[in-house]
Amino acid sequence: LNKVYKTRLEMAHDIASYEDKLLSFSSIRGLLIDLSTNEILYRVTEDPVFLRGLSITNEYIYIGRSGVVPHNKRSTANGAVDVLDAKTFSVIKTIRAPFVSQGNIYCVRVLDEEDIAHYNRIMGSSEIESILGTYPSVLQSYQSGETTAV
């Protein structure tokens, strides 16, 4: 980037270029904002929440969110991933799985489709298994076909 954007982001996380927008979180306020216009595209309706983790495909935008808790409670904070329609920025569903009750969400990645916010290519199954290898129960679920999104 060769431009400075003046914003009112608070505790900003993640930045991604998507179509004609430059997206970033005002994490502590629960907002996804287009930095080029300062338009609020998405607002979490639950409080308190902290946004962190942005992944984008042609159809969906995935937003990680966690409960706001003291540092010593982050390993048990509730979290979720909101799935938004990439064209309208409306929430399609919220994923609350067993893994999110084990702590804050720090990162969200789509592995089996092009992730516009990150590497813009499809990862092979061996790459996915390598990434998931540090999480044995999730890897086993992925290999058995029980989990396609983690």
* CATH code of the domain covering residue 45: 2.40.128.630
Q: Are 149 and 128 in contact (CB under 8 A)?
A: no
Question: 61-97 burial by CB neighbour count: b if 16+ within 10 A, else e?
Answer: bbbbbbbbbeeeebeebbbbbbbbebeebeeeeebee
Per residue in 14-35, pLDDT (tens digit) is: 888 889 898 888 888 889 999 8
Residue 24 lies inside a defined structural domain of this protein: yes
Kindly report the pTM of this predicted structure.
0.76
Domain that holds residue 89: 12-110
Per residue in 53-95, pLDDT (tens digit) is: 899 999 999 998 887 776 776 666 677 888 999 999 999 998 8
The H-or-E segment that residue 137 falls in is helix 136-143
Partners of residue 63 on adjacent β-strands: 54, 82
Domain count, the chain: 1
pLDDT value of position 89: 94
Give the N- to C-terminal CA distance of the chain in Å, as an integer: 31
